[in-house]
Amino acid sequence: MNQLHARYPFLASAREAVEAAEVDLAAVVRRDGAAVERAIERVEHALEVGAVGEPYRRHRVELLSYPVARVLVSLVDEHVLTRKYARAEAVTAHERIEADLADTTELQSTRAESITLTNLLAEFDLTADVYETPEGYRVDVGAYLGLAADEWGDEWRLVNRDLQAGEVPLSEAELLVLVRQAVRKRVADGLPLSVPDAIGDQLEPEVAQVRETLADLELMRDIDTVVPDLFPPCMRYLLDQVQKGEHLEHHSRFAIATFLTSIGMSTDDIVELFQVNPGFGEEATRYQVDHIRGKTSATQYSPPSCKTMQSYGDCVNMDDLCEQISHPMAYYEQQIDDADEDDLLDWRERERESSTS
C-alpha cells in the first residue's frame, strides 16, 4: 500500500494491494477509527464541496478509507449521494493527476509511485484508442462518445469536432477530462454494494451522520429564496453580466446556470433571467438548464469548484471568505448559515412580492 494507491484508490493495482494484504473490511470498520473517519470525510466533502478532501497522512488509512466510503454510500443508498460521490472522487483524481503530470521536480527514486498518462490510458483500456500527435492527441470516435457523452458544452459535441478517419483531435487537458469521466464510471460501477449485516450494523452511527448531512443539503436546495446579496463574488459578477445583456462564454453560462439550479431556482425563472442575453433561444436554454438539473440527462450537474472557476478566468473579486472555501456552493451555504433569520425572512418576502407584482 504505497502513495500511488493512496492517491488513486480506484486503480486496479490498489485493489490488488488490498487483496494481497488480506484486509478484512469488517475488522477495519470495527477497529480502524481513522479509516472510518476519513471515509466519512470523503463522503461528506463529496456532498458539500464536490471533492473528497485532503489525503490522510498515512497511506494505509487513506487507501482503506475508499472502500469504507463506498460501503457508506451503499448503505445510505440515495441516488443523489451515489452520483455526487462518484463525481467528487473523479474531480479529486483529476486535480491530483494534473498536479502529478505537471510535477517535474520529483526525485527519480520516487517516480515509480507517480501516475503517468500512459499508465492511465492502460488502466482504462484506452491505449489502443488514443495516440499522440505533434498537435496533441487523437481519440477513436467510439471511445470519445462513450466518455464525452456526459460533458456539458457545445465544444464536446461531435459535430463541433474535426472528425477525421474516425478519430477526434484533443488537447492533453481535454484528454484528461475524458480520463476523469472514466474514473467517475469506475467509482460508480457496482454501487450500491451488497453490504454484510456485520459491517452495516457497525456503521449505523456513521450512516446516520451522512443521512443528516444529506438532509441538510436537501433543505438547502429547498430554500425558497434566491439571495443575490449572499452569492459568492464570482456568481454575483456573472449574474450582473447576464442582467446587463453581456455575452458570456460557454463555461461562464454553465457556471451560473448550475449555481442557480443548485440553490433551487426553477427552470422557468432561469430561462426568464437569460432572455436579455445575446443569442438567447428559449428552447435551447430550457433544454440546457433541464439537462444541467438532470431532468433530461442521467447526470445532475454541480457548479464548478473554485479551482475550475480560476482556471477559466471566472473567479473574480475574491473576498476574505473566498480564501477559506473551495466551492461557490460552500460560500453561499456559509453566508446563509451566518445570515440573520429576520433578514432571510425579509428577503423571502421581497422575492414573493416581486414575483407577484
**DSSP letters for 92-146:** HHHHHHHHHHH---S-GGGGGGS--HHHHHHHTT-GGGEEEETTEEEEEHHHHHH
Contact assessment for residue 40 and residue 47, using Cβ atoms and an 8 Å cutoff: no
Element (H, E) at 211: helix 204-222
The DSSP bridge partners found for residue 132 are 137
Lowest mean pLDDT among 37-41, 192-196, 202-206, 279-283: 279-283
Contact assessment for residue 150 and residue 302, using Cβ atoms and an 8 Å cutoff: no
pLDDT of the residue at 142: 94
pLDDT at residue 346 tops 70 = no
pLDDT of the residue at 6: 95
Dist CA 4 CA 110 (whole Å): 10
pLDDT of the residue at 324: 84
pLDDT of the residue at 48: 84
pLDDT at residue 349 tops 50 = yes
The answer, as to whether pTM is greater than 0.75, is no
Contact assessment for residue 56 and residue 223, using Cβ atoms and an 8 Å cutoff: no
Write out pLDDT tens, residues 78-123.
887 888 899 899 999 999 999 999 875 444 444 456 789 999 999 9
Judging by beta carbons within 10 Å of its beta carbon (0-12, 13-18, 19+), is residue 85 exposed, middle or buried?
A: buried
Dist CA 176 CA 180 (whole Å): 6
**Strand residue runs (E) in the chain:** 130-133, 136-140, 167-170
Dist CA 116 CA 101 (whole Å): 7
Cell 436546495 locates to 221
pLDDT of the residue at 130: 96
Return the C-alpha cell found at 118. Answer: 500512459
Tell me what the mean pLDDT of segment 269-291 comes to: 77
Amino acid type, 41: E
Lowest mean pLDDT among 18-27, 50-59, 169-178, 284-293: 284-293
DSSP state at residue 301: P
- All domains of the chain in start order, with CATH: 3-114+191-217 (no CATH), 117-186 (no CATH), 225-356 (1.10.579)
**Cα separation of the two ends of the chain:** 63
- Is pLDDT larger for residue 40 or for residue 104? 40
CA triplet 166, 142, 8: central angle to 5 degrees?
A: 125
